[in-house]
Structure 1
Amino acid sequence: MAKWLMYSKRADFTAMGKKYQIDPVVARILVNRDLTEDAAITAFLHPSEKDLGDGKALKDMDVAVALLQKAIKEKKKIRIIGDYDIDGIQATYILHQGLLRLGAIVDYAIPDRIEDGYGVNIRLMEKCVADGIGLVITCDNGIAAADAIAYAKEAGIEVIVTDHHEVPYEMVEGKKVYHLPPADAVVDPKREDCMYPCKKLCGAVVAWKVIWVLYEAAGIARQEAMRFMENAAFATIGDVMELVEENRTIVALGIDRLRHTKNLGMQTLIARCDLAPEDISAYHVGFVLGPCLNASGRLDSATKALELLEAEDIESAAGLAETLRQLNEERKVMTEQGVAQAIAQIEQAADADAPVLVIYLPQVHESVAGIIAGRIRERYERPTFILVDAADGNGAKGSGRSVEGFSMYDEMCKCKELFSKFGGHPMAAGLSLPVENIDAFRTAINANTQMTKEEMQTLIHIDVPMPFSYISEELIGQLERLEPFGNGNPKPVFAQKNVCILRKMPIGKQKQFLRLTLQGEDGSRMEGLYFGERTVLEEIEGERGCITITYYPQINDFRGRRSLQIVISNVC
């Protein structure tokens, strides 16, 4: 059961409202997000390109740019090695298109999820040697690929790593000793010696910074580099980066560009998903468009997603967009089946109350392990690892999804001897290990953690207790200025207690949701939608049962008729 908490931060919200020409409720939300300084509030309410960081501040950027300039001038063959998820796909696209614009001889290779696993490996580097590649540039991977990079260097290949993942380390006398790969340049904001102000960039943004600096050095207009902002924004959302500081600026500006995209493949995918371009939001990127790109790398080849982004005729774009849409539908079915198996295993397990869940589902396709881990994490409010049999028959592979306060990468480092390979972020990780080590891993990860189940409990932070009578179209319009919402910038949460249910009406294809007519304490009425478990509301006795709710207001525009309604997120 989640714990509800009310923000209690103080400020003169009325004065702030007058100063910034916003409703006091919006001012209160800004303070709840620790936005109190004038510069920070102005940047938040008015995102601008001037708030984007200078890529030259990234450590080794100068070295990487010089190497690329030299390779282009000398006509060396350049190969981009990306990744098969949204971030890796968009990063590869940015580098490929950017380097082609500069006249480079360049191609790309995306690791196969089954054959290669995540990131650079020696097989991929052997292929580079065979193909006469002179320079390899990675994106969204490479920081932990020391062996493969050492192999390439010994073969005479120059290597540039662009990544955003944690730098591998070991504990020596109680201190972290970091190990960078032996590349010619390592551009990663997570480097301890990197002074770039925003450490939370995704891989595609790091790649974009490289192209941006290269364009500047070549005298190419800034606006040409800006064309990749929509890709950088797409990847930032898709990789669930925190939408704070520069990331929020990138997404706010990038979403607007995406609504007017000139990319034929993206235009076609938007149409295939039945979306109106002008209405696209971070939600649509994260839950509609993004999963289609991801599905290509999960169930087929991520090169299909690259081919869609680089499509030059409507016929090929339409075929690729439909293929990705169908792959995503297949992925949804596989995910639902895997989630059901995971729940059944947890409910029957002797250690079902363990702080960290380690679930072994040998028959589940490895490509959906991460999605299942995320769903189970949400349901049980605990860090979750989903392990499956590797498709190549070489042990088990899996993905983890975490909760706030539990650094998945740090905790895994405490038992790294059990893994064949691992890496990731505080909130997500990937791993490979022998099947016989699974039980030992489950024991170790739970023995090492200092967090209890109670400490891992989901916290619902209520921004404002607000009666229905305060909701208006004007307020909703002002709340939209706080978008895009996502990790690090959650949608505001409003609450009202003693809400009476006057009417319930099942809706949805399976009648699994509810439309409600509600009445607040002050007698004001409001239509509401509830997409959670129907049983939660059905347990309330009688039509006039009273509940306490959290919600978000919106405008229902149906056939030209506009009305106010709320979407209920939590009930007690």
Structure 2
Amino acid sequence: MEKWFIKNRKGDYKNISKKFNISELLAKLLVNRGVTDFRSIEKFLNPTLDKLYDPSLMKDLNKAVEILKDKIINKKKIRIVGDFDVDGVMSIYILYTGIKRCGGLVDYVIPDRVNEGYGINNQIVEQAKEDGIDTIITCDNGIAAIEQIELAKDLDLTVIVTDHHDIPFVIDECTGEKRILHTKADAVINPKQEDCNYPFKNLCGAAVAYKLIERLYNIFNFQPSDIYPFLEFVAIATICDVVDLIDENRVIVKTGLELLNNTKNIGLKALINETGIEGKKIGVYHVGFIIGPSINASGRLDSAIKSLELLLSIDEEEAKNIAKELRELNDERKRLTEDGVKRIINTIDSTDLKNDKVLVVYEPSINESVAGIIAGRVKDKYNKPTIVLTKGKEGVKGSGRSIEEYNIFEELSKCKDILLKFGGHPMAAGLSLAEEHISTLRKRLNDNTNLSNEDLIPKIYLDMELPIEYINFKLIDELKLLEPFGKGNEKPLFGVKNLRLNRGYVLGVNRNALKLILLNNKGITMEGLIFGDITSFEREVSQLYGEDELKKLYRGINNKIKIDILYYPSINEYNGNTNLQLIIQSYRLNI
């Protein structure tokens, strides 16, 4: 059973409402999101391009631009080394296109996910030297590549790092003090550097690349409007890398989505058409769950170069063919994911693994490229930290996903003596180890965990209680001022208790949606939609009220069922009709 909590942040709702001509309800929603002072509110409600920060504020950025200017003018060969995920692909696209337009001799490489793993490696560095490359630029990686960059400098290569990941450090075993690890790169552009004065630290890799090209364009006397078309690519990366949609990221995503809906990029047009969303208003959902996974699929199951070729394509037929390949790869990725999730859940439920607070599951048949997705799905089901391990080319490899109460990176750090390799952050990690150490890892993580049973209970935080009679078209229109929604700026969540159910309709050939006609004690009705496991709802109703009451619900006969819901209000448009409906995120049955 999950626990529900109401956010109770205090604020001057009346003054905010009056100052910005918004309702007190919206003022409360802003305060709940930590947006409290007038300056922050104005910026939040009006995320326009003039709110973007000056790239020159970023440490080493001007230095990198001067280096690039010299290399471009003197026709030195430049190589971009990226990553295989969406953020990496978009970063390469921005750097490659931008440098090339400035006249640079530039190419790119992307390490293979399975055979090479994440980030620049010694082989890439040595190959660059052999190919006569003068300058390496990393994007969405490089900040932790201490040894690889040292090798590059030993080979007399110029190195520019553009990255957004946390700065690596070690803890001195004697003093306990943190020591930052620095690379020997000629310029390091990463807003998370402690001595970087850039006002916003939470950019994705593509946004850092964008800042570099923005300044480079300025040096080469391009117009400001020449850089803005890149924002649709930065927006895709920002959404797919799941960084907080606050501050500068709101400007990037809002503007980027507007550009994406009218994209001139032949590859993106082809992908939008191939995935069946042509003609729709593309939003965060379409990017995060349709466009992004299709781009990501090539890096998981083939080569990320394919996605980059799509974006760079100038031939419609070629773009159409690549888009089709990406869609098919994503379909295969979905199949592998579903199969893997079923296998892992079956293993957990049929063994004593189900009693563990930290799930460590080894399934040799799982494709390692989808282990992280599977771990996330399993974590969501059990609300427990989950590590999914599979057989790699060299030993066992895997990915972990965690809950807020458990720092998975820190806990794995305590087991580093049995790990071949690991990395990550509090909520996600990647690791490799010898097969004979799997049971030891499981035992150690569970024996040493401080997780309580309370920690494993899912917690949902709602903005406020809001009776259904307050839901109207004006409110829903006002809520759009908070868009775009995403991590750090979730959709408003409201709650209401003791609703009766007039009728229920199971929707979809797969029975994956339930429409309920909700009734409050004032006689007001409204449609509510539950997506997902409808069988669980039916089972709960039957257990609490009896099967006869469930049958009455489906027949539209007066019944005893009462429900509390957490919801987000929306508008349903169908066959020319428009009506209000509630998207139910969670529910509780009560007597």
Instruction: Verify same fold: TM over 0.5.
Output: yes
Question: Aligned residue for 2:99?
Answer: 99
Q: Distance in 1 between matches of 2:438 and 2:215?
A: 45
Q: Distance in 2 between matches of 1:512 and 1:296?
A: 29
Superposed displacement of residue 449, structure 1: 4.5
Select which of 362, 365, 368 maps to 2:364. Answer: 362
Q: Distance in 1 between matches of 2:263 and 2:108?
A: 24
Q: Percent identity?
A: 45
TM-score by length of 1: 0.96
Superposed displacement of residue 183, structure 1: 1.9
Ranges in structure 1 where 5+ consecutive residues have no aligned partner: none
Superposed displacement of residue 30, structure 1: 0.8
Does the aligned pair in 2 maintain the 1:142–1:161 contact within 8 Å? yes
Give the letter for the 1:33 counterpart. Answer: R
Q: Distance in 2 between matches of 1:525 and 1:559?
A: 21
SS at 2:211 equivalent? helix
Select which of 196, 199, 210 maps to 2:198. Answer: 196
Select which of 583, 587, 590 maps to 1:567. Answer: 583
Give the letter for the 1:328 counterpart. Answer: N
For the pair 1:179 / 2:195, whether they are aligned, the reply is no
Superposed displacement of residue 282, structure 1: 0.6
Give me the CA root mean square deviation.
Answer: 1.7
Question: Aligned residue for 1:284?
Answer: 286
SS at 1:227 equivalent? helix
* Structure-2 change in CA distance of 1:524 and 1:260 (3 Å): same
Does the aligned pair in 2 maintain the 1:83–1:139 contact within 8 Å? yes
Question: Aligned residue for 2:556?
Answer: none
Question: Aligned residue for 2:89?
Answer: 89
Select which of 320, 324, 349 maps to 1:347. Answer: 349
Superposed displacement of residue 410, structure 1: 3.4
Alignment of 1:91-170 (within 5 A): 91-170=91-170
Question: Aligned residue for 1:38?
Answer: 38
Q: Distance in 2 between matches of 1:169 and 1:446?
A: 26
SS at 1:363 equivalent? coil
Give the letter for the 2:571 counterpart. Answer: I
Question: Aligned residue for 1:482?
Answer: 482
CA offsets, 1:50-93, max 9 Å, x none? 22122222222233222212221221111111111111011111
Question: Aligned residue for 1:213?
Answer: 215
SS at 2:202 equivalent? coil
Q: Distance in 2 between matches of 1:204 and 1:47?
A: 19
SS at 2:35 equivalent? coil
Does the aligned pair in 2 maintain the 1:497–1:549 contact within 8 Å? yes
CA offsets, 1:12-39, max 9 Å, x none? 4344333222222212111111211001
Does the aligned pair in 2 maintain the 1:237–1:251 contact within 8 Å? yes
Question: Aligned residue for 2:567?
Answer: 551
Superposed displacement of residue 43, structure 1: 0.9
* Structure-2 change in CA distance of 1:347 and 1:556 (3 Å): same
Select which of 227, 236, 239 maps to 1:237. Answer: 239
Question: Aligned residue for 1:395?
Answer: 395
Does the aligned pair in 2 maintain the 1:113–1:297 contact within 8 Å? yes
SS at 1:564 equivalent? strand
Question: Aligned residue for 1:515?
Answer: 515
Alignment of 1:348-497 (within 5 A): 348-390=350-392, 393-447=393-447, 449-497=449-497
Question: Aligned residue for 2:260?
Answer: 258
Superposed displacement of residue 160, structure 1: 1.3
Q: Which has the larger displacement, 458-467 or 442-451? A: 442-451
Does the aligned pair in 1 maintain the 2:399–2:431 contact within 8 Å? yes
Alignment of 1:45-60 (within 5 A): 45-60=45-60
Q: Which has the larger displacement, 6-15 or 442-451? A: 442-451
Q: Distance in 2 between matches of 1:80 and 1:220?
A: 22
Q: Distance in 2 between matches of 1:446 and 1:228?
A: 46
* Structure-2 change in CA distance of 1:335 and 1:106 (3 Å): same
* Structure-2 change in CA distance of 1:451 and 1:191 (3 Å): farther
Ranges in structure 2 where 5+ consecutive residues have no aligned partner: 554-558
TM-score by length of 2: 0.93
* Structure-2 change in CA distance of 1:230 and 1:327 (3 Å): same
Give the letter for the 2:184 counterpart. Answer: P
Does the aligned pair in 1 maintain the 2:511–2:534 contact within 8 Å? no
* Structure-2 change in CA distance of 1:222 and 1:429 (3 Å): farther
Give the letter for the 2:490 counterpart. Answer: P
Q: Distance in 1 between matches of 2:430 and 2:162?
A: 19
Question: Aligned residue for 1:318?
Answer: 320
CA offsets, 1:339-361, max 9 Å, x none? 11111222234343433322222
For the pair 1:27 / 2:27, whether they are aligned, the reply is yes
Q: Distance in 2 between matches of 1:414 and 1:247?
A: 35
Give the letter for the 1:24 counterpart. Answer: E
Q: Distance in 1 between matches of 2:165 and 2:517?
A: 47
* Structure-2 change in CA distance of 1:133 and 1:474 (3 Å): same
Larger Rg: 2
Superposed displacement of residue 452, structure 1: 3.1
Give the letter for the 1:515 counterpart. Answer: K
Superposed displacement of residue 193, structure 1: 2.3
